[in-house]
Amino acid sequence: MKAAIYSRKSKFTGKGESVENQIELCKSYAKNNGYDDIYIYEDEGFSGGNINRPEFKSMMKDAAAKKFDAIICYRLDRISRNVSDFSTLIDELKVLGIDFISIREQFDTSSPMGTAMMFISSVFAQLERETIAERIKDNMYELAKTGRWLGGTPPFGFSSEPIYYLDNNSKQKKMMKLSPINEEISLVKLFFEQYLTLGSLGKLQKSLIQNDIKTKRNSAWDIKALQLLLRNPVYVKSSELVISYLSIKGATVFGDPNGNGILSYNKKDSKDKYKDISEWILSVSKHEGVIDDNLWIKVQRQLDKNKDLAPRLVNGSEYGVFNSVLHCAKCGGRMIQKQGHVSRKTGEILRYYICINKTNPSENTCDSKNIRLDKLEKSVMNELFKATDDKGSLIKAIEEYKKSLESEAIDKSSIKSYEKQISQKELQVKNLIDKLSLNPNIYDLLSSRIEELNKEIKELKFKKFELENTNSNLKAAIKEINASTSMLLNFKKLWENADYSMRKLLINSFVDYISYNSDTQEVVIKPFCTNKKKGAL
C-alpha cells in the first residue's frame, strides 16, 4: 500500500514537534502498518487557519490522481484548524477512497467510529480557539474605546510613539499614541482645502500629480487612497458638532470631545468588506486633531454629494458577464464597467465598458472609445454563437487541441519495456539473495551488487510511473475536452436558459481572453485551449 505523510509547522523552532520529528513518527507508523511506498509533503512556516499551503495543495492534487491509499499526519491540527475546511477535506478523501490517519489522536477514517471521533475532536478544538480569539477581540475593543493607538500602520501624517502612565496600583504602564509628522500634516491640510476648492477627487488627484506630490512610498496618489484619507476622522478636531454629525450617520463615539482626533476600529468584516458605521468603534484619541470641524464636515458632505452624482463602476451586479476576460485591443488594458446617465427614451440607467487605462489620470495612455454595455455584449455573443456551432472556430480549436494531446500519449510498449526490465532485475536480486542464504560468507561480494540492482529497479519504477501518470493525465484531459465539446455544441441553448451566475461560469470555463477594438468594432475571442499557442478566433 501507498501513503502520503503530511507535516506542518507554523514557525521554525527547535521544539519537539518539528517537521522532521513529525515525519519520522509518521514513517514509523506507516512501516508498522503495511505502507511500503511513502510520499512526503512538508509545509514549514504556514498557519493551520486555512488550507492555502503549497505542499498541501500538491498533496491534494496527487490524491485526486490516486497516487496513494491513505494520508497520515502526526496530529489532527497539522492538517487544518478550521472545522469547515477539515470537513470538506474528509468528504473529498471519502469520494476518492483515501483513508485519513492521525497517529497522535489514534484516529483512522477506515472505521466509522474513527471518523466520528475525529470530527468531534476537531469541533471542540475550534470552539476553544474561537473562545480565546473572541476574548482577545473583546479586550482589544475595550482598549480601543480608551482612545489609545492599538497598532498597525499609522495613517498618513502620523507615526506612533509610546507614552507612560501609572495604573491604579502605581505601576508604570505603557500605551501607544499617534504623533504628527509635520511635513505630512501640511499635505493633509492641503488635501482637505484643495478638495473643497476643486470639487472632486479626480481634480484633486490631477493637481497632486501635476505638482509631483506623492505618497510615503513615492508613488502617485490614487483616488481610493485620497477618498479614504478625506473620510478618516483621525484628522478632525473632535467637537460637539462632529459628534452630532457622526451620531446622525449612525455612529457612537466614546470619550468627550476635546479637540483631539477620533480613532476608528472594527470597520471591516472577515471578508475585508466595510461594515455599517453603526458597528464601528469610534473614540476620541490621545493625539491632537489637525482639521477644523467645519472644514471636515464640509468635505464629508461634498464626498457624499459627488458619490450620488458621479457615474459609478459597477461591481457585483448582474451586469457584464465578460468583466474578467474583456480587454481593450488598443492597449491591452482590462475593460471595466461604468454607470452612465439615465436614458430619456426608456428611463433605464445606461452602462458602458471603458478601458481601465482611461480611468486614472496618471496612467491615461489609451484613447479608445467607450461603448454601451448592451451593444458590446450583443456583438460578443454573436461572435461566440458563430464560434460554437458545429463548424465554428472554437469547436475547431478544441478539436485540434484534443488531437495534439492524443499525439502525446505514451505507447504501451514503452511501459511494458520498463515492466520487463523491472521483472528481470527483481529476478536477479532474488537469485543473489538465494545464493547469499546458502553461503553467508559471500555477503561482501554480493551486497554491493544487490544494492546497485535495487537502485536500478527504483529508477525504472519511477520512469514507469511517470509514463503511466502522463497517460492518466492525458486521458483525464481528453475526457474533459469531450464533455466540453458536447457542452459547446449546445452553447446557444445553454446560454438562453442560463441565469447570470451560470453565464459567468460558461464564459470563464471556455474563454481566456476577449479583445475589443473601438475603432473597427472587431471582437477577437481566444479560448483556453490556445494558451500554449498564441492565437485567436
Q: What pLDDT shows up at residue 536?
A: 38
Shared-domain flag, residues 134 and 201:
no
Same domain, 9 and 133: yes
Answer whether 296's CB lies under 8 Å from 239's CB.
no
pTM exceeds 0.85 for this model: no
Which of 252, 274, 309 is the endpoint of a domain?
309
Q: Which of 120-129, 160-169, 183-192, 479-488 has the highest mean pLDDT?
A: 183-192
Tens digit of pLDDT for each residue in 12-64? 444 444 567 778 878 888 888 889 899 999 887 776 666 788 899 999 999 99
Same domain, residue pair 185 and 131: no
In a domain, 418, yes or no: no
Average confidence (pLDDT) over 185-211: 92
Distance CA 309, CA 414 (A): 70
pLDDT for the residue 130? 53
Element (H or E) spanning 426, and its range?
Answer: helix 412-438
Average pLDDT (307-329) is 63
CATH number (domain holding residue 258):
3.90.1750.20
Same domain, 123 and 28: yes
Least reliable range by pLDDT among 89-98, 102-111, 202-211, 470-479:
102-111
- Answer yes or no: is 458 within a domain: no
Residue linked to cell 468531534: 120
Question: Does residue 502 have a pLDDT over 90?
Answer: no
- Judged against a pLDDT cut of 50, whether residue 345 lies above it is answered with yes
What is the per-residue pLDDT for 116? 47
Q: Which residue range forms the structural domain that includes residue 131?
A: 2-138
CATH of the domain at 22: 3.40.50.1390
Both 184 and 305 in one domain: the answer is yes
Which of the listed residues 248, 278, 309 is the one where a domain comes to its end?
A: 309
Residue type, position 15, single letter: K
Q: Looking at the structure, do residues 133 and 215 belong to the same domain, yes or no?
A: no
pLDDT band at 143, cuts 50/70/90?
low
Both 131 and 19 in one domain: the answer is: yes
Question: Residues 231, 260: contact at Cβ < 8 Å?
Answer: no
Final residue belonging to a domain, choices 285, 309, 333: 309
Whether 81 maps to a domain, the answer reads yes
Count of domains observed in the chain = 2
Same domain (yes/no): 11, 128:
yes
Most trustworthy range by pLDDT among 296-300, 344-348, 371-375, 501-505: 296-300
Q: Which residue has the cell 497516487?
A: 67
Q: Please, which pLDDT band fits residue 278 given cuts at 50, 70 and 90?
A: confident
Domain shared by 10 and 117, yes or no? yes
The pLDDT, as a whole number, for residue 492 is: 79
Check pLDDT > 50 for residue 469.
yes
Tell me if 192 sits within 8 A of 226, measured CB to CB: no
Residue 265 in domain: yes
State the pLDDT at residue 445.
79
Examine the domain organization and report whether 297 and 183 are in the same domain.
Answer: yes
Look at residue 76 and tell me if it is in a domain.
yes
State whether 133 and 186 are in the same domain: no
pLDDT at residue 369 tops 50? yes
Answer yes or no: are the C-beta atoms of 262 and 233 closer than 8 Å: yes
Q: What's the mean per-residue pLDDT of the chain?
A: 78
- β-bridge pairing 335-342 and 349-355: antiparallel
Same domain? 202 vs 305: yes
> C-alpha distances in angstroms, 26 versus 40, 265, 352, 473?
10, 45, 58, 29
